[in-house]
Amino acid sequence: MHSRPSTQELIAAVQQHLTENVVPTLTNPQVRYHTLVAVNVLGIVGRELGQGEQAAWQEWAVLSALLGERRPQPDSQAKVLAEITDMNRRLAEQILAGQWDDDPNLILALKQQVEAKLDVSNPKFKR
C-alpha cells in the first residue's frame, strides 16, 4: 500500500519546482531547452500514470476489433503492450498493402487513437 505523496503528486512537485525555480535561472539556451523538455516529459508520465492501464486495454480492444481478431485478453500489462505493438505493425502492413483503402472504420479508429494519445502528450491541443 502506498501513502502520500502519490507518484503523480511527486512528479507534479518536481515539475513545478523545475518550472518555477530552475528554468527562470537558466541562461544557457541548450540547458534551458533540455530542462523544458524534461518538464514536458514529467507531464506526460504523470498523465500516463493517471490513466493507469485503462488506455492500453482500450487500445488493445479497438485494435482487436478492427483487425477482426477474437483473442483472449492478455494476463499482464507487458503482454498487452506487446500485442498492441504487434497489432499496430500488422495494421500498418495491411494499410500499406491497400487493404483498408477508404474504410470509414479504420479512419474512425485511428482518429480515436490519435486523440487519446494527444490527451496524454499534449492535452492543450484542441480538436
Q: How far is CA 37 from CA 24, 34, 62, 108, 123, in A?
A: 14, 5, 31, 31, 16
The pLDDT value recorded for residue 87 is 95
What mean pLDDT is reported for the chain?
Answer: 90
pLDDT, position 82: 94
Dump pLDDT digits (tens) for 83-100: 999 999 999 999 999 999
Percent with pLDDT over 70 in the chain: 97
Question: What b-and-e string marks burial along 49-78, b requiring 16 or more CB atoms within 10 Å of the CB?
Answer: eeeeeebbeebbebbbebeeeeeeebeeee
Looking at the structure, do residues 27 and 11 belong to the same domain, yes or no?
Answer: yes
Residues 97 and 75 placed together within one structural domain of the fold: yes
Quick one: 59 and 81 in the same domain?
A: yes
Instruction: Say yes or no: 58 and 115 in one domain.
Output: yes
Q: Is the pLDDT of residue 1 over 70?
A: no
Model confidence pLDDT, tens digit, residues 3-44? 788 888 999 999 999 999 999 999 999 999 999 999 999 999
Q: What is the mean pLDDT of residues 66-90?
A: 91
Residue 107 domain-assigned (yes or no): yes
Q: Which of these, 76, 95, 75, 77, lies nearest to 87 by C-alpha position?
A: 95
67 shares a domain with 39: no
Q: Are 110 and 77 found together in one domain?
A: yes
Q: Which residue has the higher pLDDT, 53 or 66?
A: 66
For the chain, how many structural domains are there in total? 2
**pLDDT confidence of 50, banded at 50, 70, 90?**
confident
The answer to whether position 1 is within a domain reads: no
Mark which of 18, 34, 51 sits at the end of a domain.
Answer: 51
Residue range(s) defining the domain that contains residue 58: 54-121
In a domain, 116, yes or no: yes
Q: Using alpha carbons only, how large is the chain's radius of gyration in Å?
A: 19
Burial (CB < 10 A; 0-12, 13-18, 19+), residue 11, is buried
Do 45 and 78 belong together in one domain?
Answer: no
Same domain (yes/no): 30, 83: no
